[in-house]
Structure 1
Amino acid sequence: MDRFGCWDRALITQLVPLHIADKIGSLFLPSSPQDDSLVWGLTADGEYSVKFGSLLAQGIYNPNFEKVEFAWLWKFNVPPKIKLFLWKACHDGLPSKDRLKKCKVFVPYWIEEWHSISDGASISKFSFVWWFIWFTRNKVIFNEEGFTPCKVSFMISSFFAQWLKAAAKGEEDVGNPSPRCSAKPKVVRVGKNIVWTPPPENFCKLDLNGLKDPNGNAALGFVIRDCMGEVLLVGAKSLGPHISIVQVEAWALCEGVKGAISLDISHLVVEGDNLAVINSMKNLWRIPWEISNIINDVGVDARSFVKCQFRHCFREANQAADFMAKKAHRHQSLLYWFPPYCMDFSLIIRKDVLGWPPD
């Protein structure tokens, strides 16, 4: 570590390869003394689980598998039942005989690889074919029905044509056996937690957020405002790809609290949209082991305030911190910003002060 208590990246890169140095640099270093502890890394709370211990002993669960994000599946222009089928396939959830026997179908990284080199239209077409193969396979096994290749091909082409026609009219789903249904209206959240509200008099508010870009790079951002909605301090930092989203959110909390301490704030309200982090600070949930050292560090820092409250809000009420987190990808070190701010950020702040609903 360097004299500031941070990782000495220059020294680390001299001792280990660059990719290992990056992983080491992404580890949080607490500023308060903490005892070492043993955790069972396969569970969220770090406690041993018979379920995961049994799966590991049988060789069914491999913790070294790289996690692959499949959220992009939901953006395809295919019926919801095919999206659900793809999601289950990508998470080893298809109830095949082999799956029920071994609790594992395959490691579907080839889908992620295909997604990176193919266009969405090609994958959408393939998903229709794949779903119908699964559909007819189940009919043959469980209903003893017979299908010829020509019949299956006709079913696929007919269903695909109907879907394209319905999609052009804005419909959500077509085909047998369920009837057509119109597109469902977008669910809009309502309530006080979707609009930013100023803190009580004599309090300041810390809004925090962590996110990942499409390449998996994490970043944090936070905004500190007074009871009139005026910005006192904003901060942002890039954390790289070797960190989970809950760690990013907890790290944003830690940096935001330290920023509030630097401003000599005595009464603080903390708001974030990650329920695990907020409820961990409120002692409502068991602290996930991967953020326990961060939460403990924040707990020590929180004693510096006369009063410190933690509240959960929805993402719609957290746009200012989200804006800063998006800007943070260009900054490897923690940066503080002071007024004046750019026009886009100032507009978000002004809307928050006026109580405008999210766009």
Structure 2
Amino acid sequence: MTGLEEATVDSLICDDSMTWNLPLLHSMFMARDVESILSIPLSKRKPADVLIWTGTKQGTFSVKSAYRMLYSHQVVAEASSSSSRNSAQQFWSSIWATSVPPKVRVFIWQACKGILPTQTLFDKGISNTFSCVWCGEEAETEDHLLWRCEFAQRVWKECPVTFAKSVHADMSFTDFIDCCLMDLASPSLEITLFTAWAIWKARNELVWNEHSTPVAELCQQAAGSALDFLESRSMHTESFTPSNGVPELKWKPPEGMNYKLNFSCKLGNDPYQVGLGVLVRDSSGLVAASMWRQFSGEGCGLQVHTQALLLALEFAFSIGLQDWKWMSAKRAVWAVAKAWPVLLIWEF
């Protein structure tokens, strides 16, 4: 038989008897494959070949049935992905439960769904090029733009968050976010999501305003925004009312030319690993400096918060704020001892 690459199934059937051509089958297939082929029944009526769509009971194609089939396949793929340690439902629920602004949560959801308006929307007339705006070498997909691109990798290396060893440059952005949801505690997780959002904003600044954002500036803005948002949430949800009836503590900008340092720390999954976030604001309430780091906590909660306070003061000293009011520092340490779960404020 010639033209094997164009041969069809009917070439293996004896047309006069409507049976399988055994000599031909044995000459072309292995024994176990021949056995499988012979188990397929052949109709003696010789019906004409017709196209049948399995998406409907009637066998006829419809756009609605195609949409349902694609959606069901997508759900199954998400739920059974070998690279994801969360189920699909847990993954999306974890994203919506993160302590970031709604716009950042929606952005992460869109990126993981693959529906961001990137350059690959060429076929919809939105863009006239596929290429990444930074490297110009790869198609601008969510995975490339937010994770695999050389520019994005420089951002993530500059990011103050320490990622798990399982994170690597060849993984998808969705898998990266999945690892972060599983492994990172606050404020590391929030800084990560804000950094992804900052990459997207920097991309839009370059596309629409031709403004290039330096990597260091991008990372600093993302970390500062994350810590600022967490602190604002804490101020709205937590209050400090001592037993003597003093009104609840509310944040106020420092007076004159002073600066105010705020810090918060939280234990991670490992009880000895502590996340520390520090914000320094000027008299107008604007963020002058920010810092995030992890440290190994020792002792009880009181001792851990005292260690965090000292690290926060060391950070203020390192950026040049050295004219400290030591009596205020003593009062801050006293505040740790009296009410360590509260977000502390210290002026200098």
TM (norm. structure 1) is 0.30
Q: Answer with 1 or 2: which has the greater Rg.
A: 2
TM-score w.r.t. the length of structure 2 is 0.30
Structure number with the bigger relative contact order (C-alpha 8 A, sep ≥ 6) is 1
